[in-house]
Structure 1
Amino acid sequence: MLKMSGTRSLAAIVSVVTIGAALSFGVASAVAAEAVTEDQIVRALAPANKPLTRGLSAGPQADPAATAAEGRLVQKIRGRTTRSLSVSEREEIATLAKDKPNIDLEITFDYNSANISAKSLPSVQALGRALSNPDLKGSTFIVAGHTDAAGGETYNQDLSERRADAIKRHLTDKFGIAGSDLVTVGYGETKLKDPGNPMAEANRRVQVVNMANKTTASK
């Protein structure tokens, strides 16, 4: 993920994607790290099948078979550690997440490190508050790390996992989100956001995917 020279901080993108019982949002919305709020995240990630408590309208209903498949995957991966997920499971997660609602948050990490930079803590804290919000609380979230194409494949895979784990630790330690509700997975350089520019900063990101809405969907 990293160029092996220089001392600058490296950017990661947190793309938060919601997969609910009936979601159909298709286009990502990007919010600058310095401007993002809890409310913006909640509204971007709210299940399309159910209005928010503040009155957003419901979206179209999902296919029952697809919903059942998503539910089975959630139960299969809950409580799993990063390195316990198989390649096929990682690909299944990525396929389900492709066309779902998401929000991009800029998160920077220290050079050659999984330490979240001080300037990015407000964005991570906004994410923690959003995932604790009643409109999202109770879901199983995938925290997926991604890198650019610099460095070796094995190195990038490991770094992507460590950065995903860093976000999970912050969310559990600072916001009390259950560890079993946060499943970490690494993709290394295999899922470039900007494949035409493999070294681009946009490729260095952490993606959080909301796999199921246990609490919100039942309101």
Structure 2
Amino acid sequence: MSIRRFRNTLALAALLAAASDAGAQQLSEHQLVDTLGQVASVAPAVDVAMLTQELAANPGKGIAGLPHWSQLATLPQFFVEINFENNSVAIEPESYRTIGLIADALHHPLLRQYKFLVVGHTNATGDAKHNLDLSARRAEAIAEALSTTFSVEPTRLFSVGVGSEMPVDSANPKAADNRRVQLLNIGLVK
């Protein structure tokens, strides 16, 4: 199990550079709460519906070029490895411990008032359209597991897939490190 922790970053480029340089760490609920709880009191609310519409209306444009993505790059977030069966949304059994730790953190009193965006990433082994669809379905599978298996309120969870557009290892787009899940604190539950 590995985690890549992030504080507030100023730009998408800085976020990706930090992700590629970050060392693997043992995942803990404390780390998750600490990382996701770093919300500025004036943090912008993210309009997930608008982000989803932008993605649907601009296939192939790349999420990094969408107006709402730059807003997401500045929010508290982390990347975590979740293993899926090959070319599937079936979560490997060993990854349920990681999802359980995420759920424990989301149930923590400091985070109960926030909503979260689950972002799915793939490597570049398939075509772009397939990768985008697979990453969206995998992000949804994580959100569903959090809400059904671990009782995280589903109204606090949103999901989106970005395919292979944002590789951690850009020199090797087919690398396994590029398959990951990103969790972002997107603001207060209203």
**How high is the TM-score relative to the length of structure 2?**
0.76
| 1:156 to partner: Cα distance | 0.6
Match of 1:143 among 111, 118, 122: 118
2-structure distance, mates of 1:195, 1:147: 12
Match of 1:156 among 114, 123, 131: 131
Partner of 2:85 in structure 1? 110
Kindly indicate whether the alpha-carbon contact (under 8 Å) linking 1:15 and 1:207 is maintained by their aligned counterparts in 2.
no
Instruction: Count residues with an aligned counterpart.
Output: 178
Kindly indicate whether the alpha-carbon contact (under 8 Å) linking 2:77 and 2:185 is maintained by their aligned counterparts in 1.
no
Kindly indicate whether the alpha-carbon contact (under 8 Å) linking 1:14 and 1:107 is maintained by their aligned counterparts in 2.
no
Q: How does 1:24-35 map to 2 (within 5 A)?
A: 31-32=24-25, 35=26
2-structure distance, mates of 1:120, 1:213: 28
Partner of 1:5 in structure 2? none
2-structure distance, mates of 1:95, 1:134: 28
| 1:47 to partner: Cα distance | 2.5
Alpha carbons of structure 1 residues 141 and 93: separation in structure 2 relative to 1, 3 Å: farther
SS in 1 for 2:149: helix
State the AA in 1 paired with 2:94: K
Partner of 1:184 in structure 2? 159
| 1:15 to partner: Cα distance | 6.4
Structure ranking higher on relative contact order (CA contacts 8 Å, 6+ apart): 1
Kindly indicate whether the alpha-carbon contact (under 8 Å) linking 2:62 and 2:165 is maintained by their aligned counterparts in 1.
no
- Asked whether 1:44 is paired with 2:28, we answer no
Q: How does 1:41-120 map to 2 (within 5 A)?
A: 41-49=32-40, 67=43, 70-71=44-45, 73-74=46-47, 77=49, 86-87=57-58, 91-120=66-95
Kindly indicate whether the alpha-carbon contact (under 8 Å) linking 1:14 and 1:207 is maintained by their aligned counterparts in 2.
no
Q: Percent identity?
A: 28
Kindly indicate whether the alpha-carbon contact (under 8 Å) linking 2:3 and 2:24 is maintained by their aligned counterparts in 1.
no
Provide the alpha-carbon RMSD of the alignment. 3.4
Kindly indicate whether the alpha-carbon contact (under 8 Å) linking 2:117 and 2:160 is maintained by their aligned counterparts in 1.
yes
- The more displaced of 88-97 and 179-188 is 88-97
1-structure distance, mates of 2:92, 2:76: 26
2-structure distance, mates of 1:180, 1:152: 32
Alpha carbons of structure 1 residues 213 and 134: separation in structure 2 relative to 1, 3 Å: same
Kindly indicate whether the alpha-carbon contact (under 8 Å) linking 1:158 and 1:188 is maintained by their aligned counterparts in 2.
yes
- Name stretches of at least 5 consecutive residues in structure 2 with no aligned partner: none
4+ residue runs of structure 1 moved beyond 6 angstroms? 13-18, 80-84
Alpha carbons of structure 1 residues 175 and 112: separation in structure 2 relative to 1, 3 Å: same
**How high is the TM-score relative to the length of structure 1?**
0.67
- Name stretches of at least 5 consecutive residues in structure 1 with no aligned partner: 1-10, 51-61
Larger radius of gyration: 1
- The more displaced of 109-118 and 163-172 is 109-118
Partner of 2:175 in structure 1? 200
Partner of 1:55 in structure 2? none
